[in-house]
Amino acid sequence: MKVSALALARKELYSYRNSPVSYGICLFFLLFVSIWFFYFQRFFTLNMATLRPFFAGFPLAFILVIPVITMKSWAEERKLGSIELLLTMPFSEWDLVLGKFIASFTVLGIIIGLTIPVPLTLLPLGVFDGGVIVGEYTGSLLLGASATALGLFLSCLSKNQGGAFLGSASALLVVMLLSQFTQTVGLPLWLAEGINFFSLSFHFETFAKGIIDTKDAAFFIITTILFLFLNTQVLLFRKWS
């Protein structure tokens, strides 16, 4: 990885650190997944040593959290006109995109990491499988990487932060809830499987069970690379248009 991408990532992380929105969305995520787990999923009445209901709330929280993290990445640069300055610098499009992605994904990783005290607090209450918890956190990070890349791509297409947020939130709402749609509508199996293939939450289900499925991991990695590639193509188009 080039130094230029890491330098841009450090610049972006500095702006996140000084943004009250970053702390607000972090607090929102922690409250959302905790309330989802303890109140809506009624953990203490399950009589089971499992964190699966806890991680099941992550895709829902990502629908709002990731758009907030990514909305200003490119949209703000475009609004301020600084994107033209970036494109004239001796950075490749991949350097710029990777720098933005590393910064956004690092922020998301920190937010996810702050949930670790929840399972640590619950460990004395039952016999939890450490390997399962590792698998669930691994899936959360892979899901977050794919969703972050999608959010950055849509931010690059937007003219302002509001449009970037609405576009990303709408897109994530669809790709996160597609699998729930197929379950409730009662579609033919072949059609349901075809639709589920594009659902991020569907590929997260095996990880939520603590199972690291290489096919689902490959899906997240490929979609992350795909959206980052599309992001570079948008930048190339703007550079030469």
Q: What is the pLDDT of residues 11-51, one digit of tens each?
A: 889 989 988 999 999 999 999 999 999 888 877 777 787 88
Q: Which domain, by its residues, includes 218?
A: 3-240
Q: Which pLDDT band holds residue 4 (cuts at 50, 70, 90)?
A: confident
pTM of the model: 0.93
Instruction: Say how many domains are in the chain.
Output: 1
**What tokens were used for 172?**
């994530």
Per-residue pLDDT at 3 exceeds 70? no
User: Which residue from 71, 50, 85, 206 is spatially nearest to 142, judged by alpha carbons?
Assistant: 206
**What tokens were used for 28?**
């929102």
**What tokens were used for 31?**
């409250």
Per-residue pLDDT at 1 exceeds 70? no
Distance, in Å, from the CA atom of 31 to the CA atom of 26, rounded to the nearest integer, reads 9
Distance, in Å, from the CA atom of 240 to the CA atom of 2, rounded to the nearest integer, reads 23
Cα torsion angle, 109, 110, 113, 115, sign: negative
